[in-house]
Structure 1
Amino acid sequence: MTGPGVAGPDAHERARPSQGRAPGGGGTGWAIRGTGAHLPRECVRSDDLSRALGLDPSWIEQRTGILRRYVAAPGEAASDLAAAAADRALRAAGLDAADIGLLVVGTSTPDVIAPSTACRVQAVLGAGRAAAFDISAACSGFVFGLQTAIGWLATQRGSAPYALVVGVEVYSRFLNRADRATAALFGDGAAAVVVGPAPAEYGIGPVTLGSDGSGVDDVLIPAGGSRLPASADTLAGLGHTIHMDGRAVRDFIAAVFPRLVGEATEAAGVKPADLALVVPHQPNPKLVAALAGSAGLEPGQLAIVGHDVGNIGAASIPYALDRAVRTHRIEAGDLVLLAGFGAGLTWGHALVTWPPP
């Protein structure tokens, strides 16, 4: 990658000591070896959705920057989207499902409460050697899953040395179509990465995760769990749809994104300008893009793709990362920061030194 914000050799050297390494320090790290994404076929344009909400056709685009989002077909579930994205990531990595030892799915919209969506994805892929489970960390789920994969790879013996980390959401099943605050933002989609061995100078890390349960009610689907199981009352009260305190969420994003960039670069001994690319969660792409300056970044350093898909939750970061890979925005040796934040409240960041093909 060329132009402003490209990390130089000294910055890469400073970042290396904290990266994920294979056991024994034998000159091997853990890196992203392939990416893939999948969207449903049906596209809903923001101008059409604005009209359906009784608003000016430009209302959603002006406030969020979102032009379109995609909606799963009837009968299409999270595992279907996740399996398609995972298959593309495997092909990009030149691997078969049998090479995978771990399959982690980050989602807030699983096929069913139990068992895990990951087990369904495992069955579809034929990844019979993989341990499979879900992570529930809302829109931070991909970063949480990435840390889980690194830890698992570093401690396993005799297992397939690759992990699949998937983010997927089917939010369209959980929207109140009359609530402009949520209907305007959310879409469906999936994306995945394969994590595996790489030369020691390339890798993932440092990774930092965090949570603040005092904000648990800022964004939630209140009904359907053990506290408010499904009933006629919860259905009538739209308890199975997303409820969001828009002001609280905006304040959280405005505070947490610059903090994540600052913490990640300080921990690695680099500056924000040394980052070749920053891949943030983008629930409102216009808002996140506007925070570049307060994070010490130039606008061109951000991988903003939410205008094309809306908020796809745990899939947002890997989807934007896959788009960056396929449009050649990342080159070997580039420092790439992944920054996630979401309901819970949860957050996490991961610094990646991008490996060669």
Structure 2
Amino acid sequence: MGIRVIGVGAYVPERVVTNHDLARRVDTSHEWIVSKTGIRERRIAALDEAPSDMGAHAALQSLGHAGVDPRDVDLIVTACATPDQSQPAVATMIQEKLGIGSTGCPAFDVNSVCSGFVFALSAAQGMMLADPERYRNVLVIGTDAFSRILNWDDRRTCIFFGDGAGAVTLRQTGDDARRIHFELGSDGRGGRAIEVPAGGSRRPVDGDVLEQRLNTFTMDGPKVWDFAVETVPRTVRALLARQRLRPGDLDLLLLHQSNLRMIEALMGSLELPMDRTVTTLELLGNTASASIPITLRAAWEEGKLRPGTRVGLCGFGGGLSWGAALFDW
């Protein structure tokens, strides 16, 4: 039995926020943001639009691409760090929006921040392998609305993020043994480098939290940079080595869309040219757990995913956490 990605979908909101828009609010400029991050604009969810809405749109596109009826979905795994609400799971909300709640298929969330999609992909494949009779067609979704947790007066963070969702459809195959290979890891010692300090059950929202904006996203940029440039190349090389491959054997490496300068540095460290990757952050910003599946959809639209294309994925972010995947299209 094999497991293949047979469909991919993406969704981004209509509203565009440019660097010039941000420069009217915080002390920055279009030129500075582009020079440091490569980002020119980002999409922001409408007031009545949440991760479950965006995730449902991406899921429908993925299912359409795969030719799978929503009623034939056996499992939904959703990566999300900015859920609509603390309960229930975003995946169950997406299930309801797809009109398949009555099927009773399991639906649950994974929160590993910007690595979440790769972790969700691994969890989904594991369940497919463990119970192949039950899990034949599976949706894996990454969806986030970081605009809802940002301090829009903090130029160190607000310039990076956009909202969106991406999804893939996995299916069992009986004619080959292809599977997705993974290399996952976490280091809780770095948990404070990327965090929302308050707003959870340890420190619920109160007047002091709101006054100090402790319920908004914070990031230690230099520490995150150092973490990424050290961990991502090592993780990708380790994953490839277990399959007796080297970075040069990849046809395409899609990285979490954190920062164009970081992506350039990571590709350089792996001795891969930039034409072996695809980037979407220039017009979408960092879409967190959605960035890898959104970029996978872009790669398909650009004609870079042909039968047999050897694809690597790597997410990295809060936790600290990291996850790489390897598969043939």
Same fold (TM over 0.5): yes
Local SS of the residue matching 1:287: helix
The one-character-per-residue Cα deviations of 1:228-285 (angstroms, maximum 9, x if unpaired) are 1111111111011101111111111111121122112111111211111001102112
* Equivalent-residue separation in structure 1 for 2:49 and 2:211 (angstroms): 24
* Equivalent-residue separation in structure 2 for 1:53 and 1:95 (angstroms): 46
1:250 equivalent in alignment to 2:219: no
Listed as ranges, the matches of 1:1-357 within 5 Å are 28-128=1-101, 129=103, 130-156=105-131, 158-198=133-173, 201=176, 203-354=178-329
The one-character-per-residue Cα deviations of 1:276-306 (angstroms, maximum 9, x if unpaired) are 1001102112221232121121221122221
* Equivalent-residue separation in structure 1 for 2:302 and 2:54 (angstroms): 22
Say whether the 8 Å CA contact 1:209–1:349 is kept in structure 2.
Answer: yes
* Equivalent-residue separation in structure 2 for 1:266 and 1:47 (angstroms): 44
Local SS of the residue matching 1:320: helix
Deviation at 1:72, TM superposition (A): 0.4
Local SS of the residue matching 2:33: helix
Q: Structure 1 pair 127/285, CA: closer, same or farther in 2 (3 Å)?
A: farther
Deviation at 1:151, TM superposition (A): 0.9
Q: What amino acid is the match of 2:200?
A: G
- Structure 2: segments with no counterpart, 5+ residues: none
The one-character-per-residue Cα deviations of 1:184-218 (angstroms, maximum 9, x if unpaired) are 10110000000112355563332121100000110
Deviation at 1:91, TM superposition (A): 0.5
Say whether the 8 Å CA contact 1:204–1:350 is kept in structure 2.
Answer: no
Say whether the 8 Å CA contact 1:50–1:58 is kept in structure 2.
Answer: no
Q: 1:22 corresponds to which residue? A: none
Q: Structure 1 pair 155/291, CA: closer, same or farther in 2 (3 Å)?
A: closer
Q: Structure 1 pair 312/77, CA: closer, same or farther in 2 (3 Å)?
A: same
Q: Structure 1 pair 299/101, CA: closer, same or farther in 2 (3 Å)?
A: same
- Structure 1: segments with no counterpart, 5+ residues: 1-27
The one-character-per-residue Cα deviations of 1:60-105 (angstroms, maximum 9, x if unpaired) are 1111000110000012111000000001001000011111111011
Q: Structure 1 pair 29/39, CA: closer, same or farther in 2 (3 Å)?
A: same
The one-character-per-residue Cα deviations of 1:27-64 (angstroms, maximum 9, x if unpaired) are x3001010000000101112332343132331111110
Deviation at 1:222, TM superposition (A): 1.1
Q: What amino acid is the match of 2:77?
A: V
* Equivalent-residue separation in structure 2 for 1:168 and 1:86 (angstroms): 10
Say whether the 8 Å CA contact 2:232–2:322 is kept in structure 1.
Answer: no
Please report the RMSD computed on the Cα atoms of aligned residues, expressed in angstroms. 1.3
* Equivalent-residue separation in structure 1 for 2:74 and 2:180 (angstroms): 21
Q: Give the TM-score, by structure 2 length.
A: 0.96
Say whether the 8 Å CA contact 1:50–1:60 is kept in structure 2.
Answer: no
